[in-house]
Structure 1
Amino acid sequence: MKEVLTSPLCWQYAVLLNKFSFSSELKNNLRLKGYRSLFQETLPYLPGSLKCYISRTPGRFPAQKHQIGKLKEYYLLNAASLLPVLALEIKDGERILDMCAAPGGKSIAMLQCAWPGHLRCNEYDSLRSRWLKQTLESFIPEPLMNLITLSELDGRQMGDLYPELYDKVLLDAPCSNDRSWLFSSDIQQATLRLIQRKELSALQVQLLRSAIKALCPGGSVVYSTCTLSKAENSDVISRHGRNASAFGVKGSSQLAQTLLYGEEERKFWLEAIRHNIPYPHKVMPEDFRCLPEVDRTFAMVLCD
């Protein structure tokens, strides 16, 4: 796992096709370069419009530059970034909140899955918010942009501002992000990240509480991070009580996933794991955990 986390060549980038722009020539190019479909098996919830390709060969597909008035054909992301989006099970016409949306990859993936009634992409940081806006403009046609609201609100206040409004909420929470500081040669950054591990969980709990308030009856939340820190994953979920799943809370992460599900939904994720990422090892009574491998650098923990 250390090799995966500290070597950029091992970071498995996926190519998410933009259904509003991609060409058959792009598909052929991907196949010639050894890429294959991320999900090769039929799964209970997998939108037919979601097309994503991965390669087992270390490397990265070339990025496309932003061009005003022209949509990009694909978005590069870590394959695990799609798991929280799939966990939302977005349907046409639903009201969606992406609470901490920048840089925008998960918002783009949501819009590949379904045509929402309304999507609010929120980012509190003004610099990241501008990045988010450019990302959306690069991938989404103008008619669909009319269904999207961009905002720079404090996520902790959104539940009070929009109580019981959204069918689905994605909280991709600020976290200590293991990979970024492990790869960095900056000792001070590593020290800061370790300190943040102790502090960020309080913010994450507040954000999750706000996300739950923003849910309409019968809605669901997906909580995601980019860290293996237990304090920032399962501990945050447990702070809302053992019956967190009664609120429709699901948790997930690019490195460690925490999913609270019923039996049928759990079967879906086990199928996804078996065909696409390393099979999970049971490490706690309620957890299944998959750690990154050199040729499969996305992973998850399932919590019942």
Structure 2
Amino acid sequence: MSNIYIEYTFKVSPPVPGNEILIAELGYAGFESFVENENEVIAYIQKQEWNKKILHEIGILKNKNFSIQYHSKEIEQVNWNAEWEKNFNPIEVDGICTVRAPFHPKPATKYDIIIEPKMSFGTGHHETTHMMIQHLLKLDLNGKKVLDMGCGTGVLAILAEKLGAAPIDAIDIDNWCYVNSLENVERNNCTHILVYEGDVLLLEGKKYDVIIANINRNILLEDIPEYSKSLNKNGILLLSGFYKEDILTISKKCEEYSFELIETIEKNNWVSIKFLN
């Protein structure tokens, strides 16, 4: 028997950065998948996970800087592959790295990552993933032990291996992301990545040279103390998944654990920060 989904269609003005903020907030609220067109965002959530107050905590809907209209309807099981194939275009970062689907032609860039995202987060389209890729491309990762926390599709762990890192742990609390990361690791012929399903508790007793965490503000604030314990001296911490206005809060928390802010990248009000331990 097919699952019943609730489909929401949003028209956001202005769409930049409105669409990305909306998608991020809906994702935290439990929406499973999104289709972003030029003039609208379509979001899906299983009916069993839906409630009448599902949009009450979506902050951008109350933000006077944006005008958002929406409607919803019930639908049968969505063919996710067909949906993302229609809307997933290759992403090129700084002319060096391409993130693409299996059906796209092989690019001329130095690093080629093949991702079949399904319902997982991390195709490179979102600003936070794009900025984290930019950070990684600047690092010397040869022989470095790396953690990709909240790995989503595994795209950042895969890039880390292509940049010479080994070994690499990729962790996500979401089962779909865990399974999808395993698939993408195999798809990219990676041999130094171990994927785990779980949270920060899995870091007990482990040490890394580089920790990547593209999650969200509140989880980052909770987990920074554990990152501090797990990062080697002079290690690098890359954080993203939050807005420009959160920089001070995140930075203060990091300073409590002797992290030094080295570099900030901003894109459409989203931020990615590099810290040194």
1:170 partner letter: I
The answer to which structure has the higher strand fraction is 2
Rounded to whole Å, the distance in 2 between the matches of 1:253 and 1:214 is 26
Aligned to 1:84: 132
Deviation, 1:104, is: 1.7
For the residue of structure 1 that corresponds to 2:147, the secondary structure is strand
In the alignment, which of 135, 146, 159 is matched to residue 96 of structure 1? 146
Cα distance in 1 for residues equivalent to 2:211 and 2:255: 19
Match of 1:169 in 2: 211
Q: Distance in 2 between matches of 1:237 and 1:153?
A: 26
Q: Which residue of 2 aligns with 1:221?
A: 237
Higher relative contact order (CA 8 A, sep 6+): 1
Identity fraction in percent: 11
Number of residue-to-residue matches in the alignment: 183
- Partner residue of 2:108? none
CA 1:161–1:253: 2 relative to 1, 3 Å: farther
1:242 Cα deviation from its structure 2 partner: 6.9
Corresponding residue of 1:282: none
AA in 2 matched with 1:135: N
CA distance in 2, matches of 1:205, 1:73: 30
Q: Could you tell me how far apart the structure 2 residues matched to 1:127 and 1:151 are?
A: 12
CA shift digits 1:131-180 (9 cap, x unpaired): 111121222x2xx42x211112321x244331xx211000111x3xxxxx
Partner of 1:151: 196
8 Å CA contact 1:82, 1:109 repeated in 2: no
Stretches of structure 2 lacking an aligned partner (at least 5 in a row): 1-12, 20-35, 42-86, 104-111, 116-122
How far the C-alpha of 1:220 sits from its partner, in A, is: 0.9
Q: Find out whether 1:115 has 2:164 as its counterpart.
A: yes
2:102 alignment partner in structure 1: 64
Distance 1:137 1:241, change over 3 A: same
Aligned AA (2:226) = S
Which TM-score applies when normalising by structure 2?
0.54
Q: Once the two structures are superposed, what CA deviation does each residue of 1:78-121 show, in whole Å capped at 9, x if it has no partner?
A: 27423223324142111001011112222233233x12220111
Deviation at 1:211, TM superposition (A): 1.5
The alignment partner of 2:142 has SS state of coil
Q: Secondary structure at 1:235's aligned position in 2?
A: helix
Tell me the secondary structure at the aligned position of residue 240 of structure 2. strand
Q: Which residue of 2 aligns with 1:3?
A: 15
Root-mean-square deviation over aligned CA pairs? 3.7
Q: Cα gap change, 1:234/1:109 in structure 2, threshold over 3 Å: closer, same or farther?
A: farther
- What is the TM-score when the length of structure 1 is the normalising length? 0.49
Q: 1:209 to 1:126 in 2, by over 3 A?
A: same
Counterpart in 2 of 1:160? 204
Task: Tell me what 1:294 maps to.
Answer: none
